[in-house]
Chains A and B, each alone.
Chain A
Amino acid sequence: MTSLIPPSTAEHEAGAVLEEGHGDFRLFGLALFLVADGMTFAGLFAAYLTFRAVNPLPEGGIYELELLLPTLNTVLLVSSSFTFHRAARQLRLGEGAGCRRWLLITAALGAAFLASQMREYFTLPFGLTSNLFASTFYVLTGFHGLHVFLGVMLILIVWWQARAGGSINSQQHFGLEAAELYWHFVDGIWVVLYGIIYLL
């Protein structure tokens, strides 16, 4: 068995510290983080679905939701995934200006989502502590909205970094890819949320 390199021979090569040549696995790390984040949502979804199944609302409890605004919101958020993808492709083609334009459109769609969610919050006939459904509704959509808010901030940071001479360009674009992965994740969560809260 010659599989061992005794320390003594390794000593002779000291100084020539080898670069092991591993690829960039930061996106992999981010994906793991999103799995964890997704499990937080999964736990909250499970709680919501169980409450719904076994805890009927008290007589006269209000849980009517408007469907128009959230549906519009779904359209906004899903299209923002496509615009972000567009931005990333522009960057890879070396079109820095085009990339930044699409990033701004994406951020605007995200901001519009948040504005419309705020409007929904202020027009609903129930508040955070009105009943179990209301509490779950606000905590779930609020936790997701926080993710959207963070996402918009990330997009604006990436937009700034992608300026001419910035740290993100057609060769170096980890920041943009990370923000994109995160944004798709937030969109995906919304689609599930929309399905179980508004449609179910």
Chain B
Amino acid sequence: MANSISPHATHLQPQGWWRYFGFSIDHKVIGIQYLVTGFFFYLVGGVLAGMIRTELATPISDYLSREAYNEILTMHGTVMIFLWIVPVVNGAFGNYLVPFYVGARDMAFPRLNAVAFWMIPPAGILLIGSYFIGGAAQSGWTAYPPLSLTTPATGQVVWILSVLLLGGSSILGGINFIATILKLRRPGLKLMQLPMYCWAMLGTSILVVLSTPVLAGTLILLAFDIVAHTGFFNPVQGGNAVVYQHLFWFYSHPAVYIMVLPAFGLVSEILPVHARKPLFGYTTMVYSILAIVFLGLIVWAHHMFTSGTPPWMRLFFTIATSFIAVPTGIKFFNWLATLWGGKIALNSAMLFSCAFILNFVLGGITGVALAQVPFDIHVHDTYFVVAHFHYIVYGGTVFVIFASVYHWYPKFTGRLLNEPLGTLHFVLTFIGFNLCFGPQHWLGINGMPRRVSEYDPQFTLMNQVSSAGALLMAISTLPFLFNVIYSAFRGELAGDNPWRALTPEWLTSSPPPVENWHGPAPHVEHPYGYGMVDPA
């Protein structure tokens, strides 16, 4: 009966603070473990980003050598994607919230859940450790061959091992979410009554289970090329490097949705609570998620318009990619309609959520632009792509992660975060982010290539603006860090439900007991019934 759900098993779990450092099978503990580990790696990735922006403050390669620059940009991308965003937006909030939302006492497979988390620290240590033993990988987070076959092998192999571990963790997590949402729902709770975040996690997990294994297989082939000198992706040996790109992007386009769909879900939970209105267009939101999942699996080659793709392929992938604007547009207007006429409380959670909507629509517009072949060929591998990507993944997902921390911190700890510090954090992040990545659109359109430590001196000013923005972003983490640590001990007591929210996680004590509910799980038919249901 190793993995079967036994609601009573968690009674045997330790209760003190040290449980966060051990093999706990309580989904809430695991969620916090993901969150804190992820945030640690956010700081690591942030330091790396700071080094990149320091180097780029001048047009010549002075602060870092070219090789060191390549190592750092590879590590920055890998750490931020695989150790910060994917684990936090899925693992942290998913583990904490999904069991509440389906009315369960834990995830479907609690032990598997703990195993999935504990694959992350070794993978992170391996990845960072590679920097000190023979140098880290230098071929970017995409590890395109033949580049990844010619850069130093040790770092690249360690990189592959680390990503395989993280991918495995992600797959085990995805299986757990699907089983929990489909099989562990409180009897009588219908799918269409689930909070939106559950739908987002269901869609995300389907993408994880279908696409992550393809990346794993691809990286195994790449490892063979490096270690055993096969020639799968090496043109010199009769291999085909473009096949790697196809397989890589079959995972890595959906990976964008693996990072951003859960953020859609989280923001759909936060907006109704602080606008005191039902989530607008629940049903269309659900179908939009499913449409994004389906379309997300058939658009990967839009990353390859300059890789010698045949015209029919370009046409198909342009059209399919442009179609994604429809379900995302629906969600965008639904969020606006949710806010429309609401009693909006502009607290930190809401500020970050609203900024997410703005950033995301900007990133979405540049995304549709990039899907068009003529434009894409012009800006391919320039800073325009960097700007687009960071508007989606930082302006989109990371903003939502911060919004979610402000929103659920009282649930985690029973105390509120300090609001003035939160506002300061928001203002610094918002200005810093736009200052950092806004000018990169201009740099890209004017032809500054990405992933190079040197550039034409005509780009100096905009790069310095961008670096100043990065400095602001670095400073913005200070009030946040202080806030989360200080408030854990001295924060204003929150009570069980400070936001008068209706979703199930608020209908128990804060922080919740080990098995989530003091009695039977509440039956929540209207998680967004503001104005319909009297908040308890």
Segment of A38-46, A91-99, A105-113 engaged in the interface with chain B: A38-46
Q: Is the CB of B209 within 8 A of A18?
A: no
Q: Which residues of B contact A41 (CB under 8 A)?
A: 217
- From A17, A32, A42, contact of B8 by CB (8 A): A17
Q: Which residues of B contact A118 (CB under 8 A)?
A: none
> Tally of A-B residue pairs with Cβ under 8 A?
169
Docked CA distance A179–B49 (Å):
47
Q: Which residues of B contact A6 (CB under 8 A)?
A: 507, 536
- Does any Cβ of A come within 8 Å of B231's Cβ? yes
- Does any Cβ of A come within 8 Å of B228's Cβ? yes
Q: Is the CB of A32 within 8 A of B214?
A: no
Q: Is the CB of B519 within 8 A of A43?
A: no
- Could you tell me how many residues of chain A have their Cβ less than 8 Å away from some Cβ of chain B? 55
- From A12, A28, A39, contact of B519 by CB (8 A): A12
Q: Is the CB of A135 within 8 A of B224?
A: yes
- Does any Cβ of B come within 8 Å of A171's Cβ? no
User: Per-position contact with A for B1-13: 1 when CB-CB < 8 Å, else 0?
Assistant: 1011101100000
- Does any Cβ of A come within 8 Å of B334's Cβ? no
Q: Is the CB of A43 within 8 A of B247?
A: yes
- Does any Cβ of A come within 8 Å of B399's Cβ? no
A37 to chain B, nearest CB (A): 7
Docked CA distance A136–B507 (Å):
55
Q: Which residues of A contact B525 (CB under 8 A)?
A: 1, 3
Q: Which residues of A contact B221 (CB under 8 A)?
A: 44, 47, 139
Bin the interface of chain B by size. 35 or more
With both beta carbons as reference points, the residue of chain A lying nearest to B176 in the complex is identified as: A29
Question: With A29-B179, A135-B232 as given contacts, are A4 and B533 in contact (CB-CB < 8 Å)?
Answer: yes
- Does any Cβ of A come within 8 Å of B64's Cβ? no
Q: Which chain A residues in 33-79 approach chain B with CB under 8 Å?
A: 33, 35-44, 46-47, 50-51, 54-55, 57-58
Q: Which residues of B contact A12 (CB under 8 A)?
A: 519
B200 to chain A, nearest CB (A): 18
A154 to chain B, nearest CB (A): 14
- From A22, A36, A46, A131, contact of B213 by CB (8 A): A36
Q: Is the CB of B519 within 8 A of A40?
A: no
- From A16, A20, A128, contact of B230 by CB (8 A): A128
Q: Is the CB of B238 within 8 A of A57?
A: yes
- Does any Cβ of A come within 8 Å of B70's Cβ? no
With both beta carbons as reference points, the residue of chain A lying nearest to B212 in the complex is identified as: A36
Q: Which chain B residues in 139-187 approach chain A with CB under 8 Å?
A: 171, 174-176, 178-179, 182-184, 186-187
- Does any Cβ of A come within 8 Å of B520's Cβ? yes
Interface of B toward A, CB cutoff 8 Å: 1, 3-5, 7-8, 104-105, 108-109, 112, 171, 174-176, 178-179, 182-184, 186-187, 209-214, 216-218, 220-221, 224, 228-232, 237-240, 243, 246-247, 250, 496, 502, 507-509, 515, 517-526, 529, 532-534, 536
Interface of A toward B, CB cutoff 8 Å: 1, 3-14, 16-26, 28-29, 32-33, 35-44, 46-47, 50-51, 54-55, 57-58, 128-129, 131-132, 135-136, 139, 143, 174
